[in-house]
Structure 1
Amino acid sequence: MSTLLTLLYPWVSLLSIILSTITINIVSTTPTYNNNIPRLSAFLRDSKTEPQTLSQDFQIFFFNQTLDHFNYGPESYAIFKQKYVINSKYWGGPNVFSPIFVYFGAESPLDDGQITYSAGIINDNAAHFKALLIYIEHRYYGESIPFGTFDEVMNSVTIRGYFNSAQALADYAEIIVYVKEEFAAQESPVIVFGGSYGGMLASWFRLKYPHIALGALASSAPILNFDGISPENTFPVGVTKDFKEASESCYQAIRNSWFEIDNVASQQNGLSILSQRFKTCSPLGYSYELKNYLEDMYSKAAQYDGPPTYPVTQICSGIDGAPEGTDILGRIFAGVIARIGNTTCYINDIGNPTSQTSGDTNGPQTTDETGVGWGWQVCSEMVTPMGQGSDDTMFQPRPFNATNFINDCKSKYGVTPRPHWVTTYYGGHDIKLVLQRFASNIIFSNGLRDPFSGAGILEDISDTILAIYTAEGSHCLDMVLAQQSDPYWLVNQRQIEIQTIEGWIRKYVADVNAFRK
């Protein structure tokens, strides 16, 4: 009986903590400060990225994961189920040093679409490398939520505290080591892959766990977006650059539209007029609903401005192609239709994906799992100040207000953000000087049309820490499933990345053989 009680104690203790701390409601319908920090999602939903049914080559498993890797209190030993997926179809076996490719899930569920499309680069190259493929879901997303439903966990001030990047990296390490043991593949080299926030995790994993990962491909990873390293206007300046390069007249129309929206809104029945002009799904309560929607649409269009749709060009074609004599608001609405398509209503029907910018319901009132989860991460450690001045972008002035941001986070989650922790724990300041002295085998890939690229690594740090980018590329484009229609520059970028990884593996095998002699 005493042994049983010892085993149960962490669970009983943890359950009491959960029940006693579900006190803060994180979903609010009251208009609050919009901190204007976009999500870092590696890809947007469309017909290609909707979840596809996995073939039998993909096997789903659940690992008994430790809640807290960095504490030895009884409750830290509690276990939750963490999802991971394995594809061993092309695995060449450990005797020939066949590599293990690991895709790091990030701030969304690890669904079939993410495995088949977003992680396309490892799927496309598995046969060539005879690689074992592993895909790991990030803790607190999808089916990897500790102890209850997502809402219960996110409302627990204690359990929510284990939701951070350091714990996630330790999760990945535990699963990789376990799978290597299961496949008797202790000497098989591991390459980790991630896009956007997942790309940051991949680069940080190589730095924190070099004994586990031989190398990392970090796609569109804005690791310099913290602690004042990059200017707070880096992202909106990048969005503006994309639109201005696409069409000067389109850029000017957008730039002038904010004044016109405010002017109409200030009139009697102005919000009703705007609701009619933009065919909103429900009447506008505030002009910022419309402005936030448009800013979000333009930002995502720039972030994912790649083939085959090129959304910036789509929007500008609508704005510039409006009939002669169309006023500014009419031209802006034509851009919305060009991007979203014809539908019954637009702007503020969160329950209807067709009214959103790409099926993504991120916004001031979002309550979806990814939006809430990323909101917590931004308010705790992923503090990336973002704002714009009076004349540096096509948007209205909105400098980052640290006081409002902190108060908003305290109101939602009861915590004060730690803006310096990421650079303290992972580094970032003087990154070239620091990394060239001890780090190796990291590819930082970017597409310069992605506004986040301005906070990424855009020049080689050493012979083995490489910046591989394309002028025409967009957010995480090199990571996704290859298409026959892919432009030559994208094909070349992927080829360079794969050749670099081949070089890492060749050197590793040579080193192992040399040590055996």
Structure 2
Amino acid sequence: MAASMKTVLNLVLISVLVSFTSSLPRFLHGRPKHGLLGAPKLPQGSVLPPDMWLKQKLTHFNYADTRTWQQRYFVNDTFYKPNGPIFLMIGGEGTANPAWMLQGAWIEYAKTYHAICFLLEHRYYGKSHPTPDLSVDNLQFLSSEQALADLAYFIQYVKHKYNLMSKDQKLITFGGSYPGSLSAWFRVKYPHLVDGAVATSAPIFAQLNFKEYLQVVVSSLATTGPGCNKNIKMATDTITKMISTDTGRKSVEKMFNLCDPLDTSQYVDGSNLFSNLAGNFEGVVQYNKDNRAFEGAIGTNITIDTICGIMTDESNGSPIERYAKVNSLMLSTYSQKCLDNSYNKMIKGLQATAWNSSASEGGRQWMYQTCTEFGFFQSSDLGDVQPFGNFFNLKFSIQQCMDVFGAKFNQELIQMGINRTNTNYGGYGMRATKIVFPNGSIDPWHFLGFTKDLSMESPAIYIQGTAHCANMYPATSDDLPQLVQARATIEKLIGTWLSSN
């Protein structure tokens, strides 16, 4: 009887874990599951470098706290020649993938300049676990400042370990998206340790209400013509009317294949629905034709042309039916049986603190960083200029911070953290040399970065027609001329930095 009961309890636990796993959004706060930067697909027979580890301090800002932990890194010295430069790729809000040690534009630069390459995994992501769990008390050691200090210690560590002590050896950092920000900020805070920084698709300015994110999405969808946004607006208006009645609500649940009944007594459930449906389009725009196909990423065949083609094709039915068809395409592409729209299930999933929980892949950690340092909340507060409705407003994002981490994580506390971030790093008023800021015009994140030169020594490269981190991926024969030129410009800049005094 006891064994039978144990089996039943185990099955219930598995069911709960599966439920929580599926309840986490595929696209949350602008971050796809597993991080904003993909991982390269390798040629058959490739041999990945092994995991390497160093002892790292839990906190770099309290010397009375002597606790340490093991941080993961990778190294590739295949192209290295004595006294060659040091290239450091910065890990971000996901697992550091060693495939990047063999692929990507930075590897081509390493071949040119005979560099030794390192990749350091960001604390609290991947296998780099500084604390026993992800409780709020333990997450206090997760911050960009701690990550930068990790980098500083790491550089000193590898210089000694790998005998890279020549005064002539320069160091260049690379990063895309949040790690792009870290690359720039590291140059600002530790200029004596780094000789140049590539900060790709880097949001430099922390902002509470990132309503302009949808502005870029709308503009990108409009490149296919006015019909796409127009039909999304019509679909949104229809859904808004339908969910006001029991019959209409049930029809929406069926049409969009919701996993659970829509609880319209809670505004957050309705907000979650409109946010998730907008996310179908946001994710496609953010990564539109960005060369992720080389990494084997799911969904790279779905482009702005694909989803807008569905929205403007009258043979697909009414606008709401077309909207539902886009949703079905995304569910099928990502092997999801239904759209898990329950706000309460999402929050319970993000509240999980164990390292083996689904949220630990980075969703909980990234939300903590947005709630304490950055904001970056992609709200619907742009108004009628965007077609996705006004339901997932700033209040909705702040509510998530409070529900996941506690009531004290309110708008006032979040704004204080954002103010400190911009004061600490400079925001748009940053002053630094030898940083290059590549951004794609289709990428919504470019709005918070530099698209014009910071200075003659810190240029911006604004690449028309490209998306998030596109210049980091390996070249293909289909690359736009301006993308080809951007990679060449970055390579030339690196050469200038390496040859300068």
Question: Could you say what secondary structure the match of 2:73 adopts?
Answer: strand
Q: Residue type matched to 1:489 in 2?
A: Q
Tell me, in whole angstroms, the C-alpha distance in 2 between the residues paired with 1:163 and 1:305: 31
Whether 1:294 aligns to 2:277 is: yes
Residue equivalent to 2:456: 463
Extract structure 1 runs of 4+ deviating beyond 3 A. Answer: 40-45, 48-57, 112-117, 279-290, 307-310, 336-347, 361-367, 398-402, 404-408
Q: RMSD of the alignment, in Å?
A: 3.1
Shift of 1:362: 9.1
Tell me, in whole angstroms, the C-alpha distance in 1 between the residues paired with 2:334 and 2:67: 49
Q: Deviations over 1:188-233 (max 9, x none)?
A: 1000000110000000000011111101000001112436xxx742
Q: Deviations over 1:65-117 (max 9, x none)?
A: 011111122xx2211000000000111122xxx11110000000112455555
Residue equivalent to 2:202: 221
Counterparts in 2 of 1:339 and 1:384: CA distance versus 1, 3 Å: closer
Whether 1:203 aligns to 2:184 is: yes
Tell me, in whole angstroms, the C-alpha distance in 1 between the residues paired with 2:271 and 2:72: 39
Residue equivalent to 1:80: 69
CA contact (8 A) 2:331 2:339 kept: no
CA contact (8 A) 2:471 2:487 kept: yes
CA contact (8 A) 1:52 1:113 kept: no
Tell me, in whole angstroms, the C-alpha distance in 1 between the residues paired with 2:98 and 2:123: 17
Residue equivalent to 1:390: 383
Question: Could you say what secondary structure the match of 1:71 adopts?
Answer: coil
Moved more, 133-142 or 361-370: 361-370
Question: Could you say what secondary structure the match of 2:31 adopts?
Answer: coil
Counterparts in 2 of 1:504 and 1:396: CA distance versus 1, 3 Å: same
1:13-412 matches, cutoff 5 A: 37-39=29-31, 43=36, 49=40, 55-56=46-47, 58-73=49-64, 76-94=65-83, 98-113=84-99, 115-116=101-102, 120-148=104-132, 152=133, 154-157=134-137, 159-186=138-165, 187=167, 188-226=169-207, 232-285=210-263, 286-307=269-290, 309=301, 311-323=303-315, 326-338=317-329, 341=332, 347-349=338-340, 367-369=358-360, 370-387=362-379, 388-398=381-391, 400-401=393-394, 406=398, 408-412=400-404
Shift of 1:50: 6.3
Q: Deviations over 1:340-394 (max 9, x none)?
A: 65788655259xxxxxxxxxx9999555221111011111112235432322222
Shift of 1:292: 2.1
Counterparts in 2 of 1:88 and 1:298: CA distance versus 1, 3 Å: same
Tell me, in whole angstroms, the C-alpha distance in 1 between the residues paired with 2:335 and 2:156: 52
Counterparts in 2 of 1:234 and 1:400: CA distance versus 1, 3 Å: same
CA contact (8 A) 1:50 1:113 kept: yes
Instruction: Return the structure number with greater relative CO, CA threshold 8 A, min gap 6.
Output: 2
Q: Residue type matched to 2:231 in 1?
A: A
* TM-score calculated relative to the size of structure 2: 0.80
Q: Residue type matched to 1:446 in 2?
A: N
Q: Deviations over 1:377-421 (max 9, x none)?
A: 11111223543232222221258546x655543442244322211
Counterparts in 2 of 1:305 and 1:343: CA distance versus 1, 3 Å: closer
Q: Deviations over 1:274-331 (max 9, x none)?
A: 232233455544444432221111111111112564621110112223417x111111
Question: Could you say what secondary structure the match of 1:505 adopts?
Answer: helix
Tell me, in whole angstroms, the C-alpha distance in 2 between the residues paired with 1:342 and 1:463: 44
Residue equivalent to 1:22: none
Residue equivalent to 1:492: 485
CA contact (8 A) 1:62 1:84 kept: yes
Counterparts in 2 of 1:114 and 1:392: CA distance versus 1, 3 Å: farther
Q: Residue type matched to 2:323 in 1?
A: I
Q: Deviations over 1:256-278 (max 9, x none)?
A: 21111121222233232123223
Question: Could you say what secondary structure the match of 1:192 adopts?
Answer: strand
Tell me, in whole angstroms, the C-alpha distance in 2 between the residues paired with 1:399 and 1:339: 20
**Which ranges in structure 1 are unaligned for 5 or more consecutive residues?**
1-26, 351-360, 512-517
Q: Residue type matched to 1:290 in 2?
A: L
Residue equivalent to 2:298: none
Counterparts in 2 of 1:102 and 1:343: CA distance versus 1, 3 Å: closer
* TM-score calculated relative to the size of structure 1: 0.78
Q: Residue type matched to 2:449 in 1?
A: G
CA contact (8 A) 2:74 2:119 kept: yes
Tell me, in whole angstroms, the C-alpha distance in 1 between the residues paired with 2:127 and 2:189: 26
Counterparts in 2 of 1:408 and 1:275: CA distance versus 1, 3 Å: closer
Shift of 1:335: 2.7
Q: Residue type matched to 1:373 in 2?
A: Q
